[in-house]
Amino acid sequence: MTSCEAAIKAWEEESKESAADARKVMLYCQIPPITKMDGNLNNLKKCQHLSLSTNSIEKFGNLALPELKVLSIGRNHIKKIDKIESIAGTLEELWMSYNVLQSLDGLASCKKLQVLYISNNKIKSWDELDKLQANPELRDILLIGNPIYDNMSTEQQRVEVLKHLPNLQKIDGVVVTPGEREAASNGGDVSQREGSPRN
């Protein structure tokens, strides 16, 4: 395993930057992988975009990064979102695709969250999306590859997402159309719209 301290040191050598002063720090694809988010990450005091994707991290660490806006932690083994309160005041984008999340608990404190990428996880219940109503600025979500989409057409998926989160502007990388918004507000009847062209 690679420690966060070693990964940061290697990043500094390669980038010729001081990690403590850097706005963007990329610690993805470490060989061997990082398995734990440890306290050394909290030395990245000016970091606004931190990438820890494609490692073997199983749990959130308690990040205390006062300027962090984008956290990329996709392609790990994370089962739940916790200990996020310390970055909740600034976090705008959370990229967590390709993990093993079953629940969306833990995000309620992230009032500035605008983008949530959680494709290819283990989310089975539509009730989980209701928890994101606590994130008033959320506009862009990625859900492809979760069990909640099983046995539904793309149109049905999108309208169902909008029924739970009507303020979204983009779902799975595609801008929400007025027709989809209308179908969601009418209770989700998309039968008359099956096969209709989408922008």
For the question of whether the overall pTM of this predicted structure is more than 0.95, the answer is: no
Average pLDDT across the chain, whole number:
93
CB 41 within 8 A of CB 64: no
What is residue 192's predicted lDDT score, i.e. its pLDDT? 43
Could you read off the pLDDT of 129-185 as tens digits, one per residue?
999 999 999 999 999 999 999 999 999 999 999 999 999 999 999 999 999 999 999
> Residue 191 above 80 pLDDT?
no
In this prediction, residue 189 carries a pLDDT of 60
pLDDT band at 2 (very low <50, low <70, confident <90, very high): confident
Question: 89 phi and psi, to 5 degrees?
Answer: -70, -20
* Region 44-64 average pLDDT: 95
pLDDT for the residue 89: 95
What pLDDT is stored for residue 196 in this prediction? 42
